[in-house]
Chain A
Amino acid sequence: MKIAVASGKGGTGKTLIATSLALSLEKAVLVDCDVEEPNAHLLVCPQWQLTRHVELPFPKVDLNKCSFCGECQRVCRFGAIAVLADQVLTFPELCHSCGACSLVCPSRAISEEKRKIGEIRFGIKNGLELIEGRLQVGEPMATPIIRELKRCSAKRDSIIIFDAPPGTSCPVIHTLRASDYALLVTEPTPFGLNDLVLAVGVTRELAIPAGLIINKAGIGDKKVYTYAQEQNLPILLEIPEERKIAEAYSRGKSLAEAFPEYKKIFLDLFEKINLQVKENVCKAVVSSER
């Protein structure tokens, strides 16, 4: 079972929920896909076991073989390779690592070198494995690291929880696509609702069942409740706006750790998700049989 915790809006409590859920389960894998600003480790405090570099290939031109024909430049859609009269310039930071240049070169003058764009770290806390992706500061593209995270977690057979990045663009899509369920975390404010609508749109596009957690319940207004009803989006949990929760979070404590009563709440939450996914599968089977 793969659950993605997403939100649209940043700061609604995705990581708090994802880590609390993961720590409440007996055995789980938590994958931190917010590779630009990975925070799950701050609440999980794992023992780190291993770090792997994430590397992307970029072209290296052997000028002895190169005929300066310019085919590589023609085929590159990203401007990462420039052929001049007597030299070839490459711009690794523009390169998308597609391999077209090395394939097209008639002189076989292009090989690939690797450069590091980030890291993946593996850590353990009791029954929980944390796999964290971390983009190197200054690197523009998050998606290659998310692809790598998906590859790493694909082999695990326990419950997998993906802590998604904020927003609804490419990196979020890649995170959600790997999942059976989207747990959307929102706050009952105009900003929260605005971005939740976008996030729900994404789950519909990807045909993934979704459920809602309302964090900081009590602030803002009630519009999100009306929206959830209209959209048939089940509200699985409401967490009240309480200073003690905010303060515990500011001390690096997840909900299950700071308030033991939350462990059962999250186990119940997991059961609700399980049920919803099973129902969805049944619905899908029934409709394909028709």
Chain B
Amino acid sequence: MSVKQLSVVSGKGGTGKTSLVACFATLGSNMVIADCDVDAANLHLIAEPLILKKQDFYGGAKAEIDQERCQRTGVCQQVCRFDAVVFDASAQPVKYWIDPIACDGCGSCAEFCASRAIKMVQPKAGEWYISETRFGPMVHARLGIGEENSGKLVSQVRKTALELAEKRDRKMVLIDGPPGIGCPVIASITGVDYTIVVTEPTPSGIHDLERISELCRHFSIPAGVVINKFDLNPGISGEIKKIVGISNSDFLGEIPYEPDFTRAMVQGKSLLEFNSSPSSKIIKQIWENLKSLLK
């Protein structure tokens, strides 16, 4: 039996992805959790992981000028297309230096420096962890502030989670994805068996849902939609259901606006561990729907 991979994304931030992932983690057994929101990870606040293994993560390269070899020709500044080479006229002596935040790591400056004064370095860009939680093994990460979130760290987390699931005979990898539609989101959904999109009944909720759904179609990944806080605007919720109905996505369920999500979060619990409200029943039903879709 191959390991199933399930990803939870949203397009728009703040719709309740992580809270829902925590609920699924509570309901499921035999899974590995992967927190792929490496830029602003939150799942650990509920899962309370015990870190067993930590690894350094190296992202892209950055250029560095060796001031002793530099002849101040300024060629690097001429070839750089990212405005990353800064000339400091007030320095004694004047100097060129490379802004690591703007630097794209393309290496053009290093290539064309006649004095070979520029080298490409790979600074540490973050860390990733293999941990144990009450929900099972968890793989998560922290991307350094300002680092490029290219999807490489997300892929590392996913690769490790899948390997862990295979090694420890787990049936599923449950992925908490990041907001947006860029690189890290793409890395969170490619090759998964199913993607859940969590949305909310607001104009931005619909707008962003359409974009993330298009992304799923682009990568031919089956998707299902959960409307969170649906009762805030039943009109828009209805619109969303119509859109989902015409599309190829599944409608998985709708959860009312639930203040207990936050109360549970404050206590470090998933909603299902906090109490058994009507919302808990709905989430259990959504989980059952998912399990049958994944068979």
Binds A, one of B26-34, B106-114, B131-139: B106-114
**What is the distance, in angstroms, from B276's C-beta to the closest C-beta of chain A?**
21
Within 8 Å CB of A247, what residues of B? 232-233
Q: Which residues of A contact B13 (CB under 8 A)?
A: 9-11, 37, 166
Q: Count how many chain B residues have C-beta atoms less than 8 Å from C-beta atoms of the other chain.
A: 60
Instruction: For residue A88, give the distance in angstroms from its CB to the closest CB of chain B.
Output: 19
Chain B 123-157 interface mask (CB, 8 Å, partner A; 1/0): 00000000000000000000101111111000000
B181 within 8 A of partner (CB): yes
Among candidates B40, B229, B262, residue contacting A167 with C-beta atoms closer than 8 Å: B40
| Number of residues of chain A lying within 8 A (CB) of chain B | 59
| A169 pairs with B147, CB closer than 8 A | yes
Query: A39 near B: Cβ within 8 Å?
Result: yes
Interface string of B166-181 (1 = CB under 8 A from A): 0000000000001111
Residues B40 and A198 in contact, CB atoms below 8 Å apart:
yes
Which of A248-265 touch B at CB < 8 Å? 249-252
CB distance from A219 to the nearest CB of B (A): 5
* A8 in complex: contacting residue of B40, B183, B185, B257, CB < 8 Å: B40
- Tell me whether B266 and A220 are in contact (CB under 8 A): yes
- Does the CB pair A37–B106 fall under 8 Å? no
B93 in contact (CB, < 8 A): no
Against A, the Cβ 8 Å flags (1 = close, 0 = not) of B186-230 are 100000000000001111100110010011001000000000010
Is B40's CB under 8 angstroms from A168's CB?
yes
How many angstroms from the CA of A97 to the CA of B267 in the assembled complex?
A: 48
Q: How far is the CB of A70 from chain B (nearest CB, A)?
A: 14
Is there a chain B Cβ closer than 8 Å to A2's Cβ? no
Contact A195 B207 (CB under 8 A): no
Contact with B along A157-201 (1 / 0, CB 8 A): 000000001111111111001000000000001110011001001
* A170 and B148 within 8 A (CB): yes
Q: Which residue of A lies closest to B216 (CB)?
A: A137
**A and B contact pairs by CB, cutoff 8 A, 6 listed:** A10-B13, A78-B106, A167-B39, A170-B146, A173-B145, A195-B42
